[in-house]
Amino acid sequence: MNERRVVITGIGCLTPLGNDLSSTWHGLKNGLSGIARISRIDAEAFDCKIAGEIRDFNADHYFRTPKDARRSDRYVQYAVAASKMAMEDSGVEVDRIDPRRFGVMVGSGIGGLATLENEHSTYLTKGAKRVSPFTIPMMISNIASGIISMEYGLCGPNMVIVTACATSNHNIGEAWRIIKFGDADAFLCGGAEAAVLPMGLCGFANMKALSTRNDDPEAASRPFDLHRDGFVMGEGAGVIVIEELSHAIKRGAKIYAELIGYGVSADAYHLSAPSPDGSGPAYAIQMALRHGRKNPEDVQYLNAHATSTGLGDIAETKAIKLAFGDYAKNGLMVSSTKSMTGHMLGAAGGVELIASIMAIKESIIPPTINVDEQDPECDLDVVPNVARECKVNVALSNSFGFGGHNASVLVSRFE
């Protein structure tokens, strides 16, 4: 393994808990829910009428002109906003770095679903000639990375990996790998999603994947709880700036944490269901630990993928036990911040890694809320309902996507 070290120097996020890091972290550590009745569209016709929406967001604040904002799908608007926050937080002065050594990997699991819906409706009601010429560039999943690179003149490696709900972790992990290999010094990386839309709701609901606890939105997302009935959709973005250590030190950057490991695997099992034995995710976790040269007992906190689905939470529990052995039930703290944000799909891993970084920085483990009766098959320390003060030196974040895609990212306190 290449000895180049990679550190996190900037953070940007928009979540159902707030449109910046401060408000998101406040919500996470205080066990607040960002789930409510859907407000942006009329959801009365849908089985699921609740979601974690981004509220009070004005895209014009993050683009050079209002026209540029209008020509971007909502997921791109979120990605650009989070990237701008991360760049400002990092203090990077673009005119003082080599732009060929600064890359962008900010992906989306679904891409421009709003654009697809809107332009298809235009085609049906007004005809082919009225479909926008911006339709394709607005909806493709790589366009956020392209637009971000144009905004800052970043000419380094620029691409996205699309792996459904593992998208953010794969983009962060592969950006880490490129820096380790020596082909870049810095990256903006993470993910964004904006799929709380009719097709998104129908698609997931007809799979019986979504919670229908419509009368109690704040209690609907309940990972590891015996009475969970499906996940709750969320939206937003989580983006970080990562840099090679000497590059960060040379410019006097503040350092949140060190990115030390990344694991990747496939279940090779089913379109949407996890492998029941948890072996695929376990292998990804073990790879991340091996890269980071850590033993299972070195990890204090694991931010679980745990979405609040019947099969998924149990399979991940088994994976954690396979990877961590006896320590899984005797020392490791595991929580699912999706209990508060809902499942942000392709943005989930970015936001959840940010939660893991903040757990290290502030020595606070965010809780899993809504654990009223813990499922006996999910018999881990899930930090139920109330945050826990505890020094965290090493944290791991899991993300798994439809198609059996698994990704685990390992971070540590910077020494």
> Annotated active-site positions, please?
165, 305, 343
User: Could you tell me the CA-to-CA distances from 100 to 72, 149, 253 in Å, in that order?
Assistant: 25, 11, 20
Bridging pattern class, strands 186-193 and 236-244: antiparallel
How far is Cα 38 from Cα 318, in angstroms, rounded to an integer? 34
SS3 333: strand
Q: Tell me the one-letter amino acid at 151.
A: E
What is the maximum span of the chain, computed from C-alpha positions, in angstroms? 63
Bridging pattern class, strands 102-107 and 364-365: unpaired
Tell me which residue of 166, 233, 222, 168 sits closest to 199, measured CA to CA: 233
Total residue count of the chain as it appears in this document: 415
**φ, ψ for residue 7, nearest 5 deg:** -125, 155
What stretches of 331-385 show up as alpha helix (H) in DSSP? 338-341, 348-362
Contact 245, 374 (CB under 8 A): no
What single-letter DSSP state applies at residue 49?
A: -
How far is Cα 21 from Cα 59, in angstroms, rounded to an integer? 17
**φ, ψ for residue 301, nearest 5 deg:** -130, 135
Number of H helices, E strands in the chain: 13, 13
Q: Tell me the one-letter amino acid at 351.
A: V
How far is Cα 177 from Cα 264, in angstroms, rounded to an integer? 12
